[in-house]
Every structure is written in structure tokens, then in C-alpha cells.
Amino acid sequence: MIDQETIGLLLKGVNNVTWQSLVMIGVSFVLLYLAIVKDYEPLLLLPIGAGCLLANLPLSPLIGEEGMLVALYHMGVGNEMFPLLIFIGIGALTDFGPLLENPRLVLLGAAGQFGIFLTLILALLLGFTPNEAASIGIIGAIDGPTSIYVSGILAPHMLGPITVAAYSYMSLVPIILPPVIHLMTTKEERLIRMPYSSRKISRRTRILFPIIVTVLVGTLVPFATPLIGMLMLGNLMKESGAVERLTKASAAEIANTVTLFLGLAIGSTMVGADFLKPSTLFILVLGLLAFALDGCAGVFFAKILNWLSGGKINPIIGAAGISAFPMAARVVQRVAQEEDFENFLLMHAMGANAAGQVASVVAGGVVLALMGAGG
């Protein structure tokens, strides 16, 4: 019979509202606002916000045992499959031609990873454990799937804020990068025009590139094998031209489905007490710092290259070495055109940007290797 107990059941929801859940629902509203109104990386932030909202409703069955969001987490976040599948799609749409035309730009990609390690030190000083510090630093890879992959292994309890930071900052590239560039360069440097050259990259080279990168990076940094392997698998499928159906499926159907599931699953990790800690704020601030430091390091290194080459390299293309392909390159081009509307640096910036993509993944693997993860 229906009794007090049953009626208690009916009020159970309202009774289980906590201030933490209310705050987290507020956080989910902020994420949805950023995604929908501010258009910040909506493909990720909208599902993350929705996942966060659904997970923080009182007694949400979605995060109970057998709950759908938990099932999605186990399906592809716990085992790191989702970020890797997204990487296949990214590889399938990335053209490394600008890098192949101008291979020395790979070094700019390396420089753009400095922020990872500087932030790691700061995080250590703030009292984070080494694994946590490394996970925070990896936000400085400015690369969503890499951040998810690395922090999912090193510090899964911080996956939520790290992913949110990584994607938010990726979408802030057009806002954060220009002041960093201006801070690091003089007007004269920004006005440097670079020669435009073109080299027909043979199909053979384009096909060899992903294979060589996979074997090289995979042998020297085994921890980077999954990330670089999937990125380069996508690129190999694209450049081979032999499996158009699979290339398209990777970049469209698979990527879309996985993005939705990934976002929901990550959002569902952002629950109450775990998220509402000072550390979350530190993560957000440190991540932003890592980003800015990346840009500075990239530009600084490009200045050195410029000095070595006798003034033939515009230092601002160093800022594109941070990854966030192809947005960072576009932002660099903009900054150049702000001062001289006829200064076209896009091709060079794209090369540095593609290098940053590869270097981010390498840096992710190196961090995992140095932490001895799973070793």
C-alpha cells in the first residue's frame, strides 16, 4: 500500500538538493552560455554543460550504477578510446603540406610546448601532486584530445575541469594570442615579410610522412603511440586516397557521435564536492598561464630563428606553434595584417601550426613517459 514511505520517495528529489548541486547546476549554465551564446567550442562545451547539468540533478539515475552517463564514461573515457577516435578524424582533415614544404618549422612546434613544463613547476609549488601537476601542465598543449588522454591516465579525478579548460582556451585563441604576440614583438618584427615559395609535395612523401612520424615517435616515446598513431592513421587514410569511405566516416559520423558521448561523459564527472575545490580555480588559472607561456615561448624561439636567419623569419609565426590547428595560424595572419594589410604569413603560420599539432602530441607522450605512467 501507498504510505508515508511512498510519499517520502516523491519528495526525495527535492530533499536531496544540496548547495553543491545548485552551484554545479550554475556552472553547467555558464558552460551552456559559453557554448550557445558566446560560441566557445560549442561541440564540446554544450555536451559537457548538459552532462554536468544532468549529473547534478538530485539523485540523478544517469550517474547511478548502470546509469547512461556512467556507461558512456566506461565506453570511451575510462579506456581513452573517445579522444583517440577524435584524433583519427582530426588527422583525416589535417594537411601537413605547409610543414612539408618548410620542414624547419617543426622546431617552432617544439618551442610552443614550453608552457606545459613551466606550468607543471608552478602547479608543483602550489601543492599539487606530480601527476596532477603534469595533468594541469598538459592544458598547455592547447589540444583537447591530448589533454583528455593524458589527464585521463594521470589524474582522472581532474578530468572535468582540465577538459573544460582545454577546450575553453582553444576557443579563446583569437582573444589570448594577439596580446601575447604584441607583448613579445616590436612593430618592426611584426612587419617582416617572408618569401613565399611552393614545392610540389609528391603523393609518396605525403603518404610516407604519417608512417615515418608514427614509427619515429612511437619507437622513441612509446607512451605517445596511441595519440600520434591515431592522428597519423587519419592522415594516412586521407593522403592515401584509397579509403575515402573510412576517411569520411572518421571525420564525420564517428567524430560527431564520439564528440557527443565524450562531452556528456566528461560533464558527468563534474559532480559536487569533487569539483568545488580551490584546486579547480587553480587549474583554470594555471591552464590559462600555460597557454600564454606557450605563446611567449613560441614567439621567443621564432625570434632566435629570425636572428639566426638574418631577419628572414617573422617572429609572430612562432605563436602558431602552440597547436589549435588551424585557428592559431589564422590569428597570426590577422595580427600581421593589422599592421600591414598586404603581409601574408598564413602559409608559414600553417606550417608552424601543423608542427605544433605534432609537437603537442609528442609532448603529451613525453610527459606520460617522464611520469612513468603505466610503465
Partner 1 sequence: MENLGWGLQMTVLGMGLVFALLAVLWAILNLILKLDQEEAEPVTALEATQAAEQIAAVADGAVGAQIPEPATVNGMRADLVAAILVATMQHRRVLRRQAAPMMRSYWPGSQLFASRWVAAGRTRQNNNWQPKGR
Q: Which of residues 10-69 bind partner 1 (CB under 8 A)?
A: 10, 39, 41, 43-44
154 is a site residue for a second copy (CB under 8 A): no
142 is a site residue for Na ion (CB under 5 A): yes
User: Angle at the Cα of 255 (from 61 to 283), degrees rounded to 5?
Assistant: 65
Q: Which of 70/327 has CB closer to partner 1?
A: 327
What is the total residue count of the chain? 375
Please, are residues 224 and 85 in contact by the beta-carbon 8 Å criterion? no
Rounded to whole angstroms, the Cα distance separating 152 from 148 reads: 6
Residue type, 285: V
Peptide bond into 178 cis (omega under 30): no
46 is a site residue for a second copy (CB under 8 A): yes
Region 12-31 residues binding a second copy, contact defined as CB under 8 A: 12-14, 16-17, 25, 29
Q: Which of 113/306 has CB closer to partner 1?
A: 113
Q: Which of 120/296 has CB closer to partner 1?
A: 120
73, 223, 291, 301: which one binds a second copy (CB under 8 A): 223
CA dihedral of 31, 262, 276, 129, whole degrees rounded to 10: -130
Nearest approach, Cβ of 288 to a second copy (angstroms)? 23
Region 56-95 residues binding a second copy, contact defined as CB under 8 A: 57-62, 64, 66-68, 71-72, 78-81, 84, 88
202, 242, 244, 307: which one binds partner 1 (CB under 8 A): 202
Rounded to whole angstroms, the Cα distance separating 235 from 339 reads: 35
User: Angle at the Cα of 357 (from 256 to 312), degrees rounded to 5?
Assistant: 140
Region 93-152 residues binding partner 1, contact defined as CB under 8 A: 93-95, 97-98, 100-101, 103-104, 106-107, 109-110, 113-114, 116-118, 120-121, 124-125, 130, 133-134, 144-145
* Part of the chain binding partner 1 (CB under 8 A), chosen from 19-27, 55-63, 304-312, 346-354: 346-354
Which stretch of DSSP H or E encloses residue 263?
A: helix 255-267
Q: Which of 94/279 has CB closer to a second copy?
A: 94
Residue type, 100: L
Region 211-240 residues binding partner 1, contact defined as CB under 8 A: 212-213, 216-217, 220-221
How far apart, in Å, are the Cα atoms of 161 and each of 10, 115, 147, 150, 354?
33, 18, 11, 13, 26
2 is a site residue for a second copy (CB under 8 A): yes
Nearest approach, Cβ of 182 to a second copy (angstroms)? 30
Residues with Cβ within 8 Å of 289's Cβ and at least 6 positions away in sequence, in order, are: 115, 118, 119, 122
Packing angle, helices 114-125 and 130-137, rounded to 10:
140
322 is a site residue for a second copy (CB under 8 A): no
Q: Exposed/middle/buried for 12, CB within 10 Å: 0-12, 13-18, 19+?
A: exposed
Sign of the Cα pseudo-torsion (104, 109, 114, 120, in order): negative
| Partner from a second copy, Na ion, partner 1, none binding residue 142, C-beta < 5-8 Å depending on class | Na ion
120, 290, 360, 367: which one binds Na ion (CB under 5 A): 360
Rounded to whole angstroms, the Cα distance separating 373 from 131 reads: 9
> What is the size of the binding site for a second copy (CB under 8 A)?
78
Nearest approach, Cβ of 242 to a second copy (angstroms)? 4
Nearest approach, Cβ of 223 to Na ion (angstroms)? 17
Region 271-310 residues binding Na ion, contact defined as CB under 5 A: none
**Residue numbers at the binding site for Na ion (CB under 5 A):** 141-142, 322-323, 356, 360
